[in-house]
Amino acid sequence: MVRRCLMLAGIVLWLLPGLAAGQGETAGQNDPKTRQMAALEAGVDYIEVRKGERVLELYRDGEVLASYPIQLGKRPEGPKRFEGDKRTPEGTYRIGWRNPESSFFLSLGITYPNEEDKAYAERYGVSAGGQIMLHGMPNDTEYRKEVFNEPNWTNGCIALRDHHMLEIWRAVEVGTPIRIKP
């Protein structure tokens, strides 16, 4: 019980730095983290992922609101082509759904495969795959320990640290475009 109270107090202090310092409602507005959180609460226009740089950025009105380090599929070079190829897709998709009960800390579904992806796989007589997500770290603690510092460990998804995923979860709506670049 004491542990939960301390954790809750820490969260309140992190979210409300001005009020925690007793400086009134406008305190903390010049704090970069406070400004970033306020901007994220207003929502984003699109997400951009640059696989080679291992970065995900949230944009509104052409401006970067936030930038996060990411982890990718076990074979990060090149676009996803087939189910089981362990690659992260490249192209323009949308956030298709939200899953708060994922095997990972929150997940946002990416609308892979698109028609082009399906047609490519069909030419080879195989499935393009699916279930590509933005997600936090594994909920299974042993699996989390195993992959925490690995740069490429997913089956094609884009993984983030849990606190970053929580920020993204709060800022991104279903339907938001996501551009995944090499």
Active site residues: 135, 157
Query: How far does CA 146 lie from the centroid of its chain?
Result: 20
CB atoms within 10 A of CB 117: 22
DSSP state letter for 71: B
Each as own residue / partner, the long-range contacts of residues 96-101 (CB below 8 Å, 24 or more positions apart, any chain) are 96/174, 97/174, 98/169, 98/174, 99/133
Instruction: Residue 75: name the closest of 96, 89, 55, 57 by CA.
Output: 89
Q: Is 82 exposed, middle or buried (0-12, 13-18, 19+ CB in 10 A)?
A: middle
Query: What is the 8-class DSSP label of residue 179?
Result: E
